[in-house]
Structure 1
C-alpha cells in the first residue's frame, strides 16, 4: 500500500486543531443520566444519527448494525501518514483497557477517502489495528452524509496524483446503542482517560 508522507502547512494545521470552530457538540437526550460522565460536550446541535455505509466485508450496514455496544467512532483514511494511525491505535488501546475493566466497546473507523479506501484496504488496516475494529466506506455520497451527520470536516488537497492528502477533523465520538452520540474526545485524550469516560457512560446507561 503506497503512503504519502509529506503534509502541507494548511493540512497540518487543520489536523492539529481538529476544526474546533466547526463543531459545537452536545449530548442528545439524557443529559441528567450522564451528567457525571461528560468530558467534552458543550452547547450545540445534534450529532450523529442514521447512516448507511459499506463494511470492510463488503456488506451494506446501518448504524443499527454497527453500534451495538459503546462505540468509538473516528473519521479518517488509511493513506493518512501519521495522525489517523496514531488516533486509531489510541482508540484500540482504550478498548483493550475497557475490556480489562469488564466493559465491551467497539472501535469504528469511517473513511473520508472512499476513492482509495475499498473494503479490502480497510480490512487490511483494521486487522492490524484491532480485531474488533470495524472499517466503513461507501459511495462518495454515503460517506459525505455520514460525515455531515457527525459534523466532521474533510477536504481533498489539490495535486499529489494518486498520493493526495486529505485535510480532516480528528475528533473521536462516543456513541451508545439506543442513546446515540453522548460525548467526544480530542487527540490529546489518553487511552486511560477515554476508558474512564466510556466506562462511566456504559455504567450509567445500564
Structure 2
C-alpha cells in the first residue's frame, strides 16, 4: 500500500511539473494571414491596369501606398475593405492623393481590365485596379505573401478565399504595417497618418 502511495505522489509531482512548465512557456504567436516574413514582403511587378495598359510598380515609387488583394465578385470583405480605405483616406484630409490605394485581383479569369475599372470607380476615391494573367497574379501573390484559393459553389460558380489584410508600404517601397479586417478605424487611421507623415 505504501508503495502505491509513493507511485501516486510521484505521478502527481510529475503532472504538476508538466503543468507548471506549460504555464510558464511563452504563448505561440498567432498565425498570420500573410504567408511570408515582413522583411521580404513586396517587390517589383508589372500587371495590367484598368485601362488595359501595362502597369509597373515603379509608378508607385516616391509615394506611400496601400495594397489590397481581392476580386470584383467578392460579396462582402472586398467592398467593405475598399470602402473603408476610401473613408480613411477622406479622414486624412481633402488631398486623396496623399497615398495610393492599389487593388489587385486574385480572380484574373473573371476580372478583366474593364471589370477592374468599373469596380474601382464605385468607392469615391482613386483606386488603382490591376489584373493580369493567372501566372502574373501568382507571382505577385508570392511576392506579397498572399493566399487565395478557388472555392466551388453550387451550380458551377465559384468564390475565392483570400488574404483579407491591407498591406502598407512607405515612399521607398518598404513594407511598414498592415490593417486587419477586425482592426478599429482609430488604430488604422493612426497607421495611415504615420505612413503619410
For the aligned pair, the TM-score class normalised by the smaller chain equals: 0.7 to 0.9
**Does the alignment pair 1:140 with 2:122?**
no
Corresponding residue number in structure 2 for 1:118: 112
Provide the TM-score with structure 2 as the length reference: 0.76
Provide the aligned length of Structure 1 versus Structure 2: 167
**Does the alignment pair 1:172 with 2:166?**
yes
Rounded Cα–Cα distance in structure 2 between residues aligned with 1:187 and 1:56: 25
Q: Which runs of 5+ in 2 are unaligned?
A: 1-30
RMSD (Å) for aligned C-alpha atoms? 2.2
Rounded Cα–Cα distance in structure 2 between residues aligned with 1:103 and 1:135: 15
**Does the alignment pair 1:55 with 2:49?**
yes
Corresponding residue number in structure 2 for 1:20: 32
Greater C-alpha radius of gyration = 2
Cα-to-partner distance string for 1:89-111 (whole Å, 9 max, x where unaligned): 11111111123489811211100
Q: Hey, which of these two has a bigger chunk of helix by percent?
A: 2
Deviation of the 1:202 alpha carbon: 2.6
Contact 2:33–2:163 (8 Å) recurs in 1: no
Cα-to-partner distance string for 1:46-93 (whole Å, 9 max, x where unaligned): 101111100111110111114552211000001011111101111111
Provide the TM-score with structure 1 as the length reference: 0.73
Corresponding residue number in structure 2 for 1:200: 194
Aligned structure 1 segments of 4 or more residues deviating by more than 4 angstroms: 100-103, 159-162
**Does the alignment pair 1:130 with 2:124?**
yes
**Does the alignment pair 1:95 with 2:89?**
yes
Secondary structure at 2:86 match in 1: helix
Higher RCO (Cα < 8 Å, 6 or more apart) = 1
Q: Which runs of 5+ in 1 are unaligned?
A: 1-18, 29-45
Cα-to-partner distance string for 1:96-127 (whole Å, 9 max, x where unaligned): 11234898112111000011111101111110
